[in-house]
Structure 1
Amino acid sequence: MYKKPLSDRRNKRKKLLYLNKVSLSIMGVGELTKLSVSEILRAANHDFINQLQLIKMNLDLNRIDDAKKIIENYCHQYKSYSNLNKLNWPKTVEWIQTFHYRFPSIEFLLKSHVAMTPSVKKDAETVEYLEKTIQHVSPHLDPYSEHRLLIEVEATERWVKITFDLHGKWDVEPLRDKPSDLEISTEKETCNDWKYVLNFKE
């Protein structure tokens, strides 16, 4: 697949990171940035057009397999978003669905395997900790590095498991303040990788 020159990609990352910092400075670190419906729709439409342009570019270059791959990835992501709604945790679902628009410098990937709507309810506590962790690291992201966050949600009627897996480069001390009402298992926390798992059981 065609890639832009490294200098162009770095400039784009610096611009996106700047937008992240503007958002944080306006809202204040520790506050949940709320987007209006019009802002979300505008961002979603812009993202959709970008995907179409990328598909068209690959077709123009006769890269049929690359174009198909983009379509497959796009469809897979939206199937994951659709499955996520079965979680019935509105605040957490909204946080995940709008993450890409609030933090555009971080590539976002969702994997959702919600078999049934869980009886356990930890919606507010979950979104509060997710937001706390991302705002802890976001102002300190390296503008010359690529950043990628994978959120994986698994759930049955009796339990919920949410994995936060961030890769990139940042310069900030590990987050020490962890709430006592959440079961948090930290698997890795360095200046390049941060992975933890939230577990909830009935």
Structure 2
Amino acid sequence: MESKQNTINEVLRQTMHDYLNNLHLIQMNLDMERYDEAKNLIRTYSLKCTQFFDVNNAGLLHTNEWLQTFSLAYNKITLEFETSIQQVGAEKYDEPVKDYLERFVQTIYPLLKGYQEQILKVCILTAEVLEVQVELKGEWSSYTWVDGMFNGLMEVEQEINTNSHIKYKLIARERLE
């Protein structure tokens, strides 16, 4: 499956659509006097913004664009995203990480079974080194993910690889500066 390049207008349109939906959901909870639910939604949306800025500050701008526009290209998969950014300076890993994630999703996407919920979880951690944890749960045709192409920048550590669960880590070989 060829990745479609989104225009700025398409991305802004989707962002505004999501923004309005989120505001309506908060307003609905306030109207129904469900104040705790409204506060939780505000916290959830605030965390999403914080994560966006954290990934940018770490130097992973292209990876962040890919993550933020993921649902436009891959509507059969729900993306869950977490960050723990303690160190910056990951710029040299940006394109390789984005390309690796893209190759992985493009390879498995045609094999997904549409009736099953597919959840891709990506967790970006920066302490002393950059670590990207990737986990996909769902159902797909027989598949083995073994792409280890990083030209020495990172290593791939596979943890789980079955017909319903794939989990691996991308770990930088050098410390972040």
TM-score, with normalisation over the residues of structure 2?
0.85
For residue 169 of structure 1, report the CA deviation from its aligned partner: 1.9
Cα RMSD for the two superposed structures? 2.1
Output the CA distance in 2 between the equivalents of 1:172 and 1:132: 17
Q: Check the 8 A contact 2:60/2:91 in 1, yes or no.
A: no
Q: Give 1:47's aligned residue.
A: 18
Match of 2:144 in 1: 174
Q: Against the structure 1 CA distance between its residues 89 and 140, is the aligned structure 2 distance closer, same or farther, given a 3 Å change threshold?
A: same
Pairs aligned (count): 172
Task: Please identify, of 68-77 and 103-112, the stretch whose mean Cα deviation from structure 2 is larger.
Answer: 103-112
Question: How far did residue 180 of structure 1 move?
Answer: 5.5
Superposition pairs of residues 46-195 of structure 1, within 5 angstroms: 46-118=17-89, 121-156=92-127, 158-179=128-149, 181=151, 182-195=154-167
> Aligned in 2, Cα 1:191/1:58: closer, same or farther, shift over 3 Å?
farther
Separation (CA, whole Å) in 1 of partners of 2:39 and 2:76? 25
Identity of aligned residues (%): 28
Q: Does 1:198 align with 2:167?
A: no
Tell me, which stretches of 5 or more residues in structure 1 are unaligned?
1-23
Letter aligned with residue 85 of structure 2? V
Gaps of 5+ in 2: none
Q: TM-score, normalised by structure 1?
A: 0.75
Q: Give the AA of the match of 1:58.
A: N
Greater share of helix: 1
Contact preservation (8 Å) 2:81, 2:123: yes
* Structure 1 position 61, deviation (Å): 3.4
